[in-house]
Structure 1
Amino acid sequence: MAKSAFSKNDIWLAAGVRTPFSKVDGTLSTIDAIALSVPVVKHMIAELHGGKPDFVVWGNVVPSLTWSNIAREILMDAGVDPAVPAFSTVMACSTSMAGVIEAAGMIDGVSRNLALVGGVDSLSQVQLGLGTSLSNWMRQFQSARSLGEKLSHAFDLKLQDVRLFIPAVSNRTTGKSMGEHTEITAKEWNIGRAEQDQIALQSHQHAIAAWEHGFFDDLVIPFGDLRRDTIPRKDTSLEKLAKLPPAFDRISGKGTLTAGNSSPLTDGASSIWVASEAGLAKLPPTLPRVKLIDWEIASVDFRVEGLLMAPPYAIPRLLARHSLTYADIHLWEIHEAFAAQVLAHIKALESTEFIKTKAGVAASFGAFPRDRLNPNGGSVALGHPFGATGARILSQAVKQLAGMPSGQRAIVSICADGGQGTVALLESA
């Protein structure tokens, strides 16, 4: 799937803010998705000094029965002008990046010039549900008009109907978790434990360095007493990572994915601006901004291909459309769902056969520049609140790229459950 019908240089991204990210059942565990999002939205709206966005797109992956359009609920709680339309979106880990693509397609340069986009998830606030049979019984029981009808209906309840629905981080079609699928990919692509741990170590080292150098100071706002991400570990090492047991394949003796080289379940919210030239003029001139040049969405049959392997299909198509090679991309931001998945993507991108037979692109793009990958840390170290990750990665890329010379380019890539992925091409002004 190629980009929407906006013309070159019409769409800009300006860096947004996010909450600190915290591991599941940690510092943010008592805060639901709406409450996590409200301070982020308030901060973004305050940047407009009395103005307002033309519309809002907000993403959320973990479902809740207490809301259907979380975007609208957040705006109401944040005190935003109720005349601002808001809708929710979802595409697993690509959710808020998909929201950016949706917003870019809606901006027309006339009546729609500025969109606030973001996403959130609280993996600590997962609502359990009733099984379908029990839900139906409960609804019918409540609608009974008399005590006799209720008692009669009570005897209709069967023990096997009394089941709870517990949401899981797994694919509905296969029943396998993301980690179980990625273990398969790691074995198919011959991805070893040591190289996974090396990616994880670099992610933590880069994240810690970025925090210490102030890179995140204007990208992360305080949430209560929490001032920074709780997940990056300054004291981690290859030796410590090597001691961790396999997390998803504990039986075969060949499992390589661990808690250390996989992204943790995380709580947090993030945001970003999407604008036309006119919309950009409403934002503070100090905000980092870059051009959204193009995008690509790919989807593969995950019953045959790797569940998280769609981006290597999308990236060559996107680059070929602009006659670019890997060396022409000065910044690579690849979502680290798992270190093994990142390494599998790189191996696929360096395989001429894969690019030709799978991605359908007859071109050579050169060696992948690993030294340009995730310079400020990735999801393994920073965390991965599903709905928030897209806006987090894009804002991070916008700030990094905006500080580079004019004409420099970035690729931002996110894999998603369901065998899908989103990729964006950015350029500094």
Structure 2
Amino acid sequence: MASPVLKAVKYANVSKTFFRDAARCLSTTSALQSPRRPKSGGKNIVLVEGVRTPFLLSGTTYKDLMPHDLARTALKGLLKRTNVNKTDVEYVVFGTVIQEVNTSNVAREASLGAGFSQKTPAHTVTQACISSNQAMTTGIGLLASGQADAVIAGGVEFMSDVPIRWGRKLRQMALKMNRTKGLQNQLSLLIKTLASKPAFLEIPAVAEFSTGEVMGHSADRLCAAFGISRIEQDEYALRSHSKAFWASEKGLLSDVIPYKVPGVADTVVKDNGIRPSSIEQMSKLKAAFIKPHGTITAANSSFLTDGASACLLMTEEKALELGYKPRAYLREFVYVSQDPKDQLLLGPAYATPKVLERAGLKMSDISVFEFHEAFAGQILANLKAMDSDYFAKNYMNRTEKVGTPDLSKFNLWGGSLSIGHPFGATGVRLVTTAANRLIDEDGQYALVAACAAGGIGHGMIVERYPQ
């Protein structure tokens, strides 16, 4: 009888070539170069502090707000945490994915709402799940080039209320109606449009435009290609929730700022998606995407989340001038991209060796790993790809594998599967958590990596600031 994984291969329509090659990525060994200090690229850029609102399941406590409310709250929380003078902040940049049309430049609206001067520029970037990573590196560029000495970078996502449009034919009709004179002519236009059987609504889909596949479908295909079982995914998801629960109870998630939501009696003080369960309970859930034999379920996937994050970045010189003791240096970073079908979620596997090489480090030099968890299977597939000489040589044009991160250093305070994943805000959470863990665990270097829609990915080296 065919195994569930082989059944999933059949139903997922995995590329035969990629499946064959992925199967050859399951065992190999190699060595890497000796370490040297990462290049600072001229000016030292530091993370002074990072904060975030509690990350909440969409449709819960934040449901009646707007994205700029969350972003404004993150900015105010950062101002309170750092006591920075707003006039010292020269630029604000935020990431987001699904934009609210009324506040399309949410960075500007949030900064004005938080009390920043009208003369403080602000703009919004979008790069799928690494949008706030892009916000941070945009800020780094401004600082490194001398355009600014202090920048706030952040991100926000609000999945409780996404823009739903009329269908295109109805939109076109509405625009023509404005130019059409006379009730009879307007009625004629309406009847003609309705006779064409237009789509009445267009709802944003979490799907790839180029392939038409939702990300969960791609994750199922990736798990089938790398032979990752359902039980492996459920065990990893349980690990994420258990570690996030422990970290939350221990007060380690100190980047969370309280949020008094208008009209809600209790102040929100913690994430509400952290729910340790059991393998037995998780195993009862059915396949969410490729039915009936897929292995991706609601339990081993990240969930739709509302939340915002913000961090204060400065040149080291400016931070010291203002009396701050930074949390970390932000060192080398890279962006990568690959096939958005078979390799949609393999950004970390491609980014990790590249950013280590740029920094002159090897895997054993890294004390803290913070990888974005889109799906448990996505994490496990990346780990297998990173541990394969075959994958390195045939897909990455490298002579040897980078190796697998030490799991005793990997996402020890939970991850996106448990804490939540507001698309535009996760990157700042990853970098802030990496910096906080370096301090808590007395490490020197952290590696942050993430995948994103479109087959893109990001990697960054974070170095602990001397204490």
Q: Distance in 2 between matches of 1:380 and 1:392?
A: 13
Name the CA distance, whole Å, in 1 between partners of 2:123 and 2:256: 24
| Residue identity matched to 2:71 | S
Cα distance in 1 for partners of 2:79, 2:347 equals 35
Most deviating of 148-157 and 86-95: 148-157
1:41 aligns with 2:75: yes
Q: Contact 2:45 / 2:144 at 8 angstroms: preserved in 1? A: no
In the alignment, what sits opposite 2:60?
26
Report the secondary structure of 1:71's partner residue. Answer: helix
| Cα offset, 1:316, TM superposition | 1.1
Query: Structure 1 residues 250, 366: CA separation in 2 closer, same or farther (over 3 Å shift)?
Result: closer
Q: Distance in 2 between matches of 1:378 and 1:282?
A: 35
Name the structure 1 match of 2:280. Answer: 239
Equivalent position amino acid for 1:357 in 2: N
Say if 2:370 and 2:430, in contact at 8 Å, map to a contact too: yes
AA partner of residue 258 (structure 2): I
Assess, with a 3 A threshold, how the Cα gap between structure 1 residues 156 and 6 changes in structure 2: closer, same or farther. Answer: farther
Alignment of 1:298-317 (within 5 A): 298-303=336-341, 305-317=342-354
Matched, 1:94 2:130: yes
Aligned to 2:290, the other structure's residue is in SS state coil
Name the counterpart of 1:350.
387
Residue pair 1:114, 1:276 contacting (<8 A) in 2 also: yes
Match of 1:398 in 2: 435
Aligned position for 1:68: 104
5 Å-filtered alignment, 1:261-410, equals: 261-281=300-320, 285=324, 289-303=327-341, 305-405=342-442, 408-410=444-446
User: d(CA) in 2 for partners of 1:273 and 1:41?
Assistant: 10
**Which blocks of at least 5 consecutive residues in structure 2 are unaligned?**
1-38, 262-266
Change (3 A) 1:72 1:50: closer
Alignment of 1:156-175 (within 5 A): 156-159=192-195, 160-175=197-212
In the TM superposition, what whole-angstrom CA distance separates every residue of 1:23-76 from its partner, at most 9, and x where no partner exists? 121121122211111111122234214543110111111122223211111112
Matches of 1:309 and 1:136 in 2, distance apart?
A: 40
Q: Please give the alpha-carbon distance, in whole angstroms, between the structure 2 residues aligned to 1:284 and 1:238.
A: 49
1:118 to 144, 150, 154: 154
Cα deviation for residue 8 of structure 1 reads: 5.1
* In 1, Cα distance between equivalents of 2:287 and 2:403: 34
- CA RMSD of superposed structures (Å): 2.0
**Displacement after TM superposition at 1:328 (Å):** 1.2
SS at the partner of 1:227? Answer: coil
> Which amino acid counterpart does residue 374 of structure 2 have in structure 1?
A
Aligned residue type for 1:138: A
SS of equivalent residue, structure 2 residue 311 = strand
From 133, 149, 156, the equivalent of 2:169 is 133
Task: Give, in whole Å, the separation in 1 of the partners of 2:321 and 2:382.
Answer: 38
> How many residues matched?
419
- Partners of 2:295 and 2:301 lie apart in 1 by 10
Displacement, 1:109?
6.6
- C-alpha separation in 1, matches of 2:248 and 2:321: 29
- DSSP 3-state at the match of 2:275: coil
Q: Deviations over 1:401-423 (max 9, x none)?
A: 234447x1111011000000011
Q: Residue deviations 1:322-378, cap 9 Å, x none?
A: 342221111110100000000001001110111222222224544431111101110
Secondary structure, aligned partner of 1:400: helix
* 2:434 counterpart SS class: helix
Structure 1 contact 118–269 (Cα < 8 Å) conserved: yes
Paired with 2:324 and 2:440, the residues of 1 have a C-alpha distance of: 14
1:138-175: CA deviations, max 9, x gaps?
01102334434433433332342242111011111222
- Distance between the aligned counterparts of 1:53 and 1:221, measured in 2? 23
Which amino acid in structure 1 is aligned with residue 291 of structure 2? Answer: R
- Per-residue Cα deviation, 1:270-327 (whole angstroms, up to 9, x for no partner): 11122211332366636x5211110111100223x32111221121122223342221
CA contact (8 A) 1:316 1:359 kept: no
- Matched residue SS, 2:257: coil
- Equivalent position amino acid for 1:285 in 2: Y
Please say if 1:10 is aligned against 2:49: no
* Structure 2 residue identity aligned to 1:57: V
**Aligned partner (choices 264, 269, 275) of residue 227 of structure 1:** 269
Identity %: 33
User: Which residue in 2 is equivalent to 1:200?
Assistant: 237
Q: For 2:424, what is the secondary structure of its paired residue?
A: helix
Q: 1:202 to 1:302 in 2, by over 3 A?
A: same
Do the aligned partners of 2:92 and 2:151 also contact (CA within 8 Å) in 1? Answer: yes
Gaps of 5+ in 1: none
Q: Following TM superposition, by how much is the alpha carbon of 1:392 offset from its aligned partner in structure 2, in angstroms?
A: 1.2
CA shift in 2, pair 1:248/1:282, >3 Å: farther
Deviation at 1:223, TM superposition (A): 3.8
